[in-house]
Amino acid sequence: MNTYILGIESSCDDTSASILHNGTILSNCIANQEAHKLYGGVVPEVASRAHQANIVPVVDMAIKKAGINKEDISAIAFTRGPGLMGSLIVGVSFAKAFAMSLGVPMVEVNHMKAHVLAHFAEDPKPSFPFLCLTVSGGHTQIVVVKDYLDMEVIGHTIDDAAGEAFDKTGKLLGLDYPAGPLIDKYAKQGKAVYSFTEPRIADLNFSFSGLKTGILYFLKRELKKDPDFITKNLADICASVQDRIVSILMNKLTKAAQQTGIKNIAIAGGVSANSGLRNALQEAGIKNGWTTYVPKFEYCTDNAAMIAVTGYYKFLNKDFIGQEVAPLARMKI
């Protein structure tokens, strides 16, 4: 049987559509929204308007790139949440209308589950159970993945997400949004010579707000002594910030691996594109005898391929949702 799943992602500021054929990705098209750079962060109203403009062309492109006709689509998988309400409404409404016109079933997808299942977009695929550190602009979680659709969050952030820590630091440094990829780039040219304290949080939870405040006061102090401190030392500041964020993440991930005894370890989400984190995971893997899984770059940040993959496993379970479905800004794994 030929199963073609159309995946749709619109939870934040990327509009994406993907076609999956029997578990294999045929297309994964993404329209990024440059407009947010002007504001130093995602502006919900701007995001939903851009989704509205992009959704039809992006879906059209995904279908064309896959070399299929819209009539071939077996089901439509869409992000129901969590995310920005105005952004989600565009994807959900489009999915409903398109599913109705094609007469195909719909599958609702949890965006955070999808980040984890991005590992099943291509080989090598992790074997169960595995631990996944999901680090994005809105979330930071350690998830025990028992099966495709059976996941348990054992650690989460109590304030900012890891991506926010990168982006907010970038703002202090005068970098464009999203600053994560820029800090990663500059960090490669510098050394982690400045030390920022690690938060003392019990159990497997994370906190990044103290780090942000620490960086703010550090910069204020140094800028008083030398107004050009940031320009002169940007690479070293970025290397130091990245080093600390990565060590906070890796320390908790290592603790989670010790506590659960799980040795299949994965990272996912936008921050898993970070070269410092990717290197640290490989090193820890060698040291601790882990099998590590790092997604391809295009499956780290928001994309519809991960929505189509998740939708496919739910489709196999005939886990469909009706036209009464509404988006959820908050949605648990």
Q: How far is the CB of 91 from ligand KG4 (least distance, A)?
A: 13
- Of 19-27, 130-138, 184-192, 284-292, the segment contacting Zn ion by CB under 5 A is 130-138
* Bridge-based pairing state of the strands 106-110 and 75-81: parallel
Cβ-in-10-Å burial (0-12, 13-18, 19+) of 83 comes to: buried
**Residue 310 is a binding residue for Zn ion (CB under 5 A):** no
Nearest to 182 by CA among 174, 25, 196, 289: 174
Q: Kindly write out the interface string for residues 169-188 of this chain, putting x where it contacts Zn ion by CB under 5 A and - elsewhere.
A: --------------------
Which residue, chain included where needed, has tokens 């640290």?
280
Say how far apart CA 231 and CA 277 lie, in whole Å: 25
Q: Which is closer to Zn ion, CB of 12 or CB of 192?
A: 12
CB of 287 to ligand KG4, least distance (A): 23
| 121 token code pair | 């977009």
Give yes or no for residue 272 binding Zn ion (CB under 5 A).
no
Q: How far is CA 91 from the centre of its chain?
A: 17
Nearer to ligand KG4, 27 or 274 (CB): 274
Nearer to ligand KG4, 18 or 136 (CB): 136
Residues at the contact surface with ligand KG4, assessed by CB under 6 A = 12, 136-138, 163, 166-167, 178-181, 184, 269-271, 273-274, 301-302
Q: How far is the CB of 7 from ligand KG4 (least distance, A)?
A: 15
Going by C-alpha positions, the residue among 127, 9, 78 that lies closest to residue 326 is: 78
Q: Using CA atoms, how far apart are residues 91 and 89, in angstroms rounded to an integer?
A: 6
Query: Would you count residue 79 as binding Zn ion (CB under 5 A)?
Result: no
What would you measure as the largest C-alpha separation in the chain, in angstroms? 69
If one asks whether residue 134 binds Zn ion (CB under 5 A), the answer comes out as no
Main-chain dihedrals φ then ψ at residue 201, nearest 5 degrees: -120, 130
Counting contacts by CB under 5 A, is residue 141 touching Zn ion? no
* Residue from 10, 48, 134, 136 binding Zn ion (CB under 5 A): 136
Residue 166 binds which entry of ligand KG4, Zn ion, none, with Cβ cut-offs from 5 to 8 Å by kind?
A: ligand KG4
Q: Does 302 bind Zn ion (CB under 5 A)?
A: yes
